[in-house]
């Protein structure tokens, strides 16, 4: 028998070659001892092979010209769009957010003092990405107390942070990306509080989302990237909020997560 | 962005469509509908996002709509009329036809996940994103789909399996 319990998910991940070699070997040992599981795995493998035998020939078929032409047109438009992905798009989209403003009233006066700053900086002092990277580096390695209020009290967390920031803020749900909310905390910004939400994936990798209302009202920005030592940061400004997503993972991977986080906030 | 990004996805989109609806013409219609919808919703595309997940997600939603609302004039999508584009020997061909028939009888939500996993070899988390469901749901649909497929093929063994003493 293997050292660790073998779950159903393990068997599927084995069939789909999604396991690291060490775990793979453990599953193989388990299968050698469990003929019922081995039968299932063989059947699943046969399905996989059968589906490829059935449908892979489609890959070699000539593609109808009408589809090719339509695809080429969309590619051209996507490319154009990629180069002018800025603010206005975001602005037009419904105001954002998992970290969402329900009413601006209370926040306007408070925000007004930041008005003359370039869009991607905070009202004064430390830049958004720098602030996020430092906060990530300080709190994400903390084993015992990474957050002030845990996800088990998400309601309290939301109420408290919303009250302190003066606008409703809410952590986006990233479960579909494999990241579960651990909790959040309040941090000092340049002129007032900012919020940090922390997430963790199954491998224990942590991701933090800094939400600041200390942004100038000069407009939205595109995604921007910064590398601060080992911490990668994607940051952007959407309406009254500045967001910075930090993690110690490669840029490409974080870009994917950031795009999803942005989409999640937008579709809320 | 690579200016051939969507063109390069076409073979895989066509393969997924064929596996979903079976019939060649209906599958290419589904690809066409997918591209047209992508065109009309180009504003939703976020640079840096996963293009493949976006397109497959659109196709998936269109197919669900079609399954729920069978057209009045055309042949209904799916099931019995699977056209098998295989090149295979006779006994293999019969096994594959059984598989195609069983696939067509799976609930749509299970076959969608199974095809993305087994045929497109997408990562589970990318499938969660594509179908806009939690990863736990991906795993449970995959598990139920695979077991159901296995039982169907066990219950209706093809001639080559009948020779096995049971």
Kindly state whether A258 is in contact with chain B, defined as any CB-CB distance less than 8 angstroms. yes
User: Which has more pLDDT, A95 or B55?
Assistant: B55
Choose the closest CB to A78 out of B1, B18, B115.
B1
pTM above 0.90, yes or no: no
Inter-chain touch B42–A77, beta carbons under 8 Å: yes
pLDDT value at residue A142: 83
pLDDT value at residue A208: 95
User: What does the block give as tokens for B100?
Assistant: 């195609």
Q: Answer left, alpha or beta for residue A254, where phi above 0 means left and psi between -120 and 50 means alpha.
A: alpha
DSSP state of B81: G
User: What does the block give as tokens for A16?
Assistant: 């789909």
> Using CB atoms and an 8 Å cut-off, which of residues 31-50 of chain A contact chain B?
40, 43-44, 47-48, 50
Contact A63, B14 (CB under 8 A): yes
pLDDT value at residue A241: 84
**Across B151-158, average pLDDT:** 75
CATH of B88-166, one of 1.10.630.10, 3.40.50.2300, 1.10.10.10, 1.20.1070.10: 1.10.10.10
CA distance B64 to B50: 21
CA distance A54 to A48: 10
CA distance A55 to B22: 10
pLDDT value at residue A1: 46
Q: Which residues of chain B does A252 touch, with a Cβ-Cβ cutoff of 8 Å? A: none
User: Which has more pLDDT, B40 or A112?
Assistant: B40
Can you list the domains of chain A with their CATH numbers?
Answer: 8-58 (no CATH), 79-267 (3.30.200.100)
By CA distance, what is B96's nearest residue in A?
A50
pLDDT value at residue A216: 65
Instruction: Map out the domains of chain B as residue ranges.
Output: 1-79, 88-166
By CA distance, what is A173's nearest residue in B?
B134
Choose the closest CB to B35 out of A67, A176, A255.
A67
Inter-chain touch A59–B121, beta carbons under 8 Å: no
User: What does the block give as tokens for B74?
Assistant: 């055309």
Full DSSP string of A130-180: HHHHHHHHHHTT-SS-S-SEEGGGHHHHHHHHHHHHTS---PPP-GGGT-E
Kindly report the average pLDDT of chain A as a whole number: 79
CATH of B1-79, one of 1.20.200.10, 1.10.1740.10, 3.40.50.300, 1.20.1070.10: 1.10.1740.10
Inter-chain touch B15–A72, beta carbons under 8 Å: no
pLDDT value at residue A120: 40
Q: Which residues of chain B does A57 touch, with a Cβ-Cβ cutoff of 8 Å? A: 85-87
Q: Considering only CA atoms, which of A191, A192, A178, A187 is closest in space to residue A137? A: A187
> Using CB atoms and an 8 Å cut-off, which of residues 48-77 of chain A contact chain B?
48, 50-59, 61, 63-64, 66-68, 70-77
Contact B7, B32 (CB under 8 A): no
For the beta carbon of residue A151, count every other beta carbon within 10 angstroms.
Answer: 17
Q: Give the percent of chain B with pLDDT over 90.
A: 54
Inter-chain touch B47–A53, beta carbons under 8 Å: no
pLDDT value at residue B154: 86
Sheet strands (E) in A213-264: 224-228, 231-238, 241-247
Whether the per-residue pLDDT at B122 is higher than 70: the answer is: yes
CA distance B36 to A149: 46
A206: three-class secondary structure by DSSP: strand
Inter-chain touch A51–B115, beta carbons under 8 Å: yes
Residues of chain A with pLDDT under 50: 1-2, 84-124
Q: How far apart, in Å, are the Cα atoms of A135 and each of A85, A139, A161, A185, B112?
A: 28, 6, 16, 10, 41
For the beta carbon of residue B3, count every other beta carbon within 10 angstroms.
Answer: 13
pLDDT value at residue B56: 94
Kindly report the average pLDDT of chain B as a whole number: 81
pLDDT value at residue A78: 77
């Amino acid at each position: 028998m293997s050292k660790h319990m073998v779950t159903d998910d393990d068997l599927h991940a084995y069939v789909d070659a999604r396991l690291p070699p060490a775990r793979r070997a453990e599953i193989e040992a388990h299968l050698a001892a469990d003929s019922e599981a081995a039968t299932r795995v063989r059947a699943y493998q046969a399905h996989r092979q059968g589906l490829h035998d059935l449908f892979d020939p489609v890959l070699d078929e000539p593609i109808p010209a009408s589809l090719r032409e339509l695809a080429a047109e969309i590619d051209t438009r996507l490319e154009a769009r990629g180069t002018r992905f800025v603010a206005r798009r975001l602005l037009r989209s419904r105001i954002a957010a998992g970290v969402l403003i329900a009413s601006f009233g209370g926040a306007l006066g408070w925000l007004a003092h930041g008005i003359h700053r370039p869009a991607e900086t905070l009202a004064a002092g430390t830049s958004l990405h720098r602030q996020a990277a430092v906060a990530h580096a300080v709190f994400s390695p903390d084993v015992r107390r990474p957050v002030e209020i845990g996800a088990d009290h998400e309601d309290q967390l939301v109420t408290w942070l919303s009250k302190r920031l003066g606008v409703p803020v809410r952590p986006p749900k990233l479960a579909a990306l494999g990241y579960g909310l651990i909790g959040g905390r309040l941090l000092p910004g340049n002129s007032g509080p900012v919020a940090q939400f922390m997430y963790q994936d199954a491998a224990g990798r942590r991701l933090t989302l800094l939400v600041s209302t200390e942004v100038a009202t000069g407009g939205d920005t595109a995604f921007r990237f910064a590398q601060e030592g080992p911490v990668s940061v994607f940051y952007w400004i959407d309406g009254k909020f500045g967001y910075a997503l930090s993690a110690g993972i490669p840029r490409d991977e974080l870009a994917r997560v950031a795009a999803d986080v942005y989409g999640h906030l937008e579709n809320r | 962005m690579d200016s051939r990004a969507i063109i390069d996805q076409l073979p895989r989109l066509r393969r997924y469509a064929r596996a979903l609806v079976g019939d060649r013409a209906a599958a290419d219609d589904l690809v066409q509908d997918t591209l047209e919808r992508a065109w009309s919703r180009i504003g939703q595309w976020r640079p840096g996002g996963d293009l493949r997940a976006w397109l497959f997600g659109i196709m998936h939603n269109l197919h669900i709509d079609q399954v729920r609302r069978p057209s009045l004039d055309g042949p209904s999508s799916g099931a019995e009329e699977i056209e098998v584009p295989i090149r295979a020997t006779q006994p293999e061909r019969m096994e594959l036809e059984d598989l195609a028939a069983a696939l067509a009888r799976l609930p749509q939500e299970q076959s969608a996940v199974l095809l993305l996993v087994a045929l497109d070899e997408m990562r589970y988390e990318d499938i969660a994103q594509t179908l806009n469901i939690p990863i736990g749901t991906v795993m449970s649909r995959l598990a139920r789909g695979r077991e159901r497929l296995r039982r169907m093929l066990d219950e209706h063994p093809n001639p080559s399996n009948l020779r096995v003493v049971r």
